[in-house]
Structure 1
Amino acid sequence: MVSQHPHDLEPVPPVVEFDSSRFKIAADMPVVGTLDSRLDLLQMDPFAFEHLVRELFTAMGYET
């Protein structure tokens, strides 16, 4: 149901009930730490970007 006024909050019933006993909780891992090591494509040298795309296409089976 949608509220009559956009600033009114209406509770939404859950679509799926989550049963936590069915899932195994993994140990703590530093997941966010590896995100900063990704390449920043917007800051990459154009020739290096072209080389990266060529390697990607080659790995996908395309002839470059």
Structure 2
Amino acid sequence: MTKLAAKIQTRLQAERGATAVEYGVMVALIVAVIVTVVATLGQDILNAFTNVETAIP
């Protein structure tokens, strides 16, 4: 019974799961920044390309 308790305690103290969660949070923050930048600058970039397109004869 003590071997089972030791195995459970070892599993609970493992940091592999915490590291995966930290990477997940970092990826989510990076995605949020990219979405914000694209949403903010998207219309300006579209207008710039439209102006270039209309300027070409």
> What TM-score, normalized to structure 1?
0.27
Structure with more helix by fraction: 2
Q: Higher relative contact order at CA 8 Å, sep ≥6: structure 1 or structure 2?
A: 1
> What TM-score, normalized to structure 2?
0.30
Query: Which structure is larger by alpha-carbon Rg, 1 or 2?
Result: 2
